[in-house]
Amino acid sequence: MPLPPLELIIAFIACLGGDGCSTTQADLYRKFIEMTGLNISDHSWREQVKKTSLPLLILWLWLRCLDAVSRKVISFEPSSPFSEFQHIWLHDGSSQAVYDELKDVLPGRFNKVSPAAIEMHATVDLLEDSFVRVQMTEDTRSERACLPALHSSLKRTLILIDAGYFELEYFGAVDDREGCFLCRAPQSINPVIHWCEREDGKQYHRYEGKKLNEVLSSFPKDKCMDLDVEWSQLSKRTFRLVVRWNGQRGCWVFIVTNLSRDNFSLEQVFLAYRLRWQIELIFKEVKSYAGWHRFNTKFATLVISLILLSFIVATLKRYLAHATEADMNAEISTHKVAKCGTHLFGNVMKSLMKKSRCLSRDLKSLISFWEKSAKREHPARDRQTGRSVLGLISGGAA
């Protein structure tokens, strides 16, 4: 007997985003039977969910979901230089160990600890607070091979990238398309310095024409440095390099960018790169509160399906969080939304499955609960030291 696809998907979403801790196929099967009341054997259920068509269906559903919910929900104050950007992409990856028997299909980087693992490379639009692109690969795939594809024009687009994705040719392509980028550079970089200035305005002409490693030891550790540099791989193209000493870690921090020095100060460059942390928080929400964890199953198709569904859960909850925020004079914490109201979220899924008249009531109950219990704790502090320090404001606080 074939499984009804809509009921199956809703049961999965309720299982991953609602109450309970489901870590096995048996947990998922029992939830499906509980919600549908269908008389389907465990064996038949397993045979259906391991089909290759399931992840394709879920991927199609997620793409439709993103098309439906993507809208601008965050913006910069007009006085902020970053208000010129229509899109700010945050790109990073996160890996997760899977069942060890999948090591031939999904090999992991750490053979002894996690012989099988999967990695999700994601691009999030900060201003839409939604995913733009996700690529799922085995954990051994090179990060640089998973950089986001570039449009023919990137005008008014800023891309924030982690050091693992450092790729000079890619930066050149972004620059050619009139886009902007910020990327933390690895410690091994050694470009030629064309121009160098300290944060207080003092210029160091004696460093011009020298390699970075030749003069780095003489950089002041209590001041930031602003440089124009060139790599031999990209001759006749200079990028901006800002340098700061991290006393806690005992190393230099390098940020490569093509943001104009006239419009974006050295400090603003460092603060802007900190916004990339928002994608780390999304990964945490997906892993901790949307069911993305190590499922005890040897079926790769089911593993992929469940991971995709975890991202659908996070997407739906963030959309509902911003919908809640729209009529409030306050900001909603997407982190709190992800972890609370799980029982009410489960009620919404049940009503949706049964096409119940209670759907509207259950949805209002969930939103009302979040209005009272999921506000951001310290919005004033955020404007001083948090994500709002550069003038970033959400719809509810605008």
The count of C-alpha atoms lying within 13 angstroms of the C-alpha of 14, restricted to the half-sphere facing its C-beta, is 26
Contacts of 298 (CB under 8 A, 6+ apart): 99, 101, 102
pLDDT at 20: 55
| Distance, CA of 348 to CA of 10 (rounded, Å) | 10
Helix (H, G, I), strand (E, B) or coil at 3: coil
Contacts of 23 (CB under 8 A, 6+ apart): 293, 294, 295, 296
Residue labelled with tokens 């540099």:
229
Q: Which two tokens stand for residue 104?
A: 């031939």
pLDDT at 270: 95
Quickly list DSSP for 323-337: HHHHTSSS-B-HHHH
| Distance, CA of 258 to CA of 151 (rounded, Å) | 18
Q: Return the closest-CA partner of residue 298 out of 25, 94, 30, 115.
A: 25
CB atoms within 10 A of CB 240: 20
| Distance, CA of 365 to CA of 230 (rounded, Å) | 57
Q: Return the closest-CA partner of residue 118 out of 348, 297, 313, 266.
A: 297
CA 245 from chain centre, in angstroms, equals 27
CB atoms within 10 A of CB 59: 16
- What is the chain's pLDDT, residue by residue, as a tens digit (398 residues)? 678 889 999 999 998 887 656 777 888 899 899 999 999 999 999 999 989 999 999 999 998 988 888 889 999 999 999 999 999 999 999 998 888 888 998 899 888 788 999 999 999 999 999 999 889 999 999 999 999 999 999 999 999 999 999 999 999 999 999 999 999 999 999 999 999 999 999 999 999 999 999 999 999 999 999 999 999 988 789 999 999 999 999 999 999 999 999 999 999 999 999 999 999 999 988 888 887 776 668 888 998 998 999 999 999 999 999 988 887 777 889 999 998 999 999 999 999 998 888 999 999 999 999 999 998 887 777 776 677 888 888 764 44
pLDDT at 19: 63
Q: Return the closest-CA partner of residue 103 out of 56, 136, 140.
A: 140
pLDDT at 329: 74
Taking every pair of Cα atoms in the chain, the longest distance, rounded to a whole number of angstroms, is 80
| Distance, CA of 28 to CA of 14 (rounded, Å) | 10
User: What is this structure's pTM?
Assistant: 0.92
| DSSP element (H, E) containing 283 | helix 277-289
CA distances from 52 to 13, 14, 58, 59 (A): 19, 22, 11, 12
Quickly list DSSP for 32-96: HHHHH-----HHHHHHHHTSTHHHHHHHHHHHHHHHHH----EEE-TTSGGGG-SEEEEEEEEEE
Amino acid at 170: Y
